[in-house]
């Protein structure tokens, strides 16, 4: 426990040094970042997810909750009681580290650039505030196939466009099942066809394959752990490209199995 907490001091690092310690030699982030969005009923759903979340997923978790812009939020303090993972309220230009949980502050909009969380003041407009869509779209653009999106309990439709962006970049998407206290947000995302798996918060956290809802197509990657392994395989292929002779051998083997004449 103390070792886990000691790592929390890394959260205060920013800039190139902070980025370097989280990257592989090619400069790519070496872990997935999970965006989790919720609105009404979100505290309960977040708590269920964090209580079931393993301490060694190797992923960073960013929680985006609809918050009252006029009142201080105790969300970070409350959620820190649900897990031994370090839980912190986001500060501008903060790097994401694996096995850490980051919580959006009130009255802000959140983005991410090269693995650094970016805060801007919330704009006062007549349009609905959509912090989940905004962050998920930024996450998809920045992390591409390393992005994971989760929509939990909430009203209205925030999160659907963001999940579509993540799915389009090759990431994986989850929505809460009928355990959601308010199901408008997850139900809208499922209806839009941009959700890989529909599970309870605890099952999402447990890396369970679960039973995908019949309304959503079977996942291309049915769990956090499989998605992480897929990212690792891609990184290894980038670092250690197959030898030409090996590729030629594989090509001949495939040709033989298909009975294609050798050229």
Note whether residue 263 is domain-resident.
no
CATH number for 203: 3.40.50.180
Contact 67, 104 (CB under 8 A): yes
In this structure, the number of other CB atoms found within 10 A of the CB of residue 210 comes to 18
The pLDDT of residue 19 is above 70 = no
* Dihedral angle of Cα 177, 178, 181, 184, to the nearest 10 degrees: 80
Note whether residue 137 is domain-resident.
yes
Mean pLDDT of all residues in 185-191: 98
* Dihedral angle of Cα 157, 162, 164, 168, to the nearest 10 degrees: 180
Q: How long a stretch of residues is the chain?
A: 263
Note whether residue 129 is domain-resident.
yes
The pLDDT of residue 263 is above 60 = no
pLDDT of residue 123: 87
- Residue 180 binned pLDDT confidence (cut-offs 50, 70, 90): very high
- Residue 116 binned pLDDT confidence (cut-offs 50, 70, 90): very high
Domain assignment of residue 27, given as a range = 2-257
The pLDDT of residue 103 is above 70 = yes
Tell me the pLDDT tens digit for each residue of 48-102: 999 999 999 999 999 999 999 999 999 999 999 999 999 999 999 999 999 999 9
Note whether residue 134 is domain-resident.
yes
Q: Dig out the tokens for 54 from the structure.
A: 């393993």
The pLDDT of residue 253 is above 70 = no
Residues labelled catalytic = 39, 66, 158
Note whether residue 32 is domain-resident.
yes
Tell me the pLDDT tens digit for each residue of 224-248: 666 666 666 655 665 565 555 555 6
In this structure, the number of other CB atoms found within 10 A of the CB of residue 98 comes to 18
Average pLDDT over the chain, rounded to an integer: 80
pLDDT of residue 248: 62
Contact 185, 159 (CB under 8 A): yes
Mean pLDDT of all residues in 105-112: 97
pLDDT of residue 196: 94
pLDDT of residue 206: 83
Phi/psi of residue 26, nearest 5 degrees: -85, -5
Note whether residue 262 is domain-resident.
no
Phi/psi zone of residue 132: left (φ > 0), alpha (ψ -120 to 50 degrees), beta?
alpha
CA atoms within 13 A on the CB side of 262: 9
Q: Cα separations (Å) of 175 from 146, 186, 189? A: 18, 5, 7
Note whether residue 91 is domain-resident.
yes
Note whether residue 135 is domain-resident.
yes
Q: Please state the domain count of the chain.
A: 1
* Dihedral angle of Cα 67, 84, 27, 233, to the nearest 10 degrees: -110
pLDDT of residue 29: 64
């Amino acid at each position: 426990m103390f070792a886990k907490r000691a790592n929390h001091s890394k959260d205060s690092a920013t800039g190139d040094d902070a980025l370097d310690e989280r990257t592989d030699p090619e400069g790519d982030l070496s872990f997935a970042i999970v965006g989790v969005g919720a609105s009404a009923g979100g505290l309960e759903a977040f708590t269920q997810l964090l209580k079931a979340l393993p301490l060694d997923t190797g992923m960073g978790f960013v929680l985006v909750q609809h918050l009252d812009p006029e009142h201080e939020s105790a969300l970070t303090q409350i959620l820190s009681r649900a897990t031994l993972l370090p839980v912190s309220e986001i500060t501008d230009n903060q790097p994401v580290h694996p096995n850490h949980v980051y919580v959006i502050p009130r009255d802000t909009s959140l983005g991410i650039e090269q693995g650094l969380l970016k805060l801007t003041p919330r704009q006062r407009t007549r349009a609905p505030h959509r912090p989940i869509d905004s962050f998920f779209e930024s996450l998809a653009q920045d992390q591409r196939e390393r992005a994971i999106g989760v929509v939990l309990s909430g009203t209205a439709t925030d999160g659907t466009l963001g999940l579509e962006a993540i799915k389009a970049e090759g990431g994986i998407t989850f929505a809460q099942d009928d355990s959601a206290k308010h199901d408008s947000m997850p139900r809208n995302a499922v209806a839009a066809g941009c959700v890989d798996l529909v599970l309870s918060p605890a099952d999402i956290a447990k890396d369970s394959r679960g039973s995908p809802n019949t309304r959503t197509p079977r996942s291309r990657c049915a769990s956090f752990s499989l998605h992480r392994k897929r990212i690792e395989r891609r990184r290894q292929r980038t670092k250690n490209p197959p030898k030409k002779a090996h590729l030629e051998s594989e090509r001949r083997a495939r040709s033989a199995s298909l009975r294609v004449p050798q050229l």
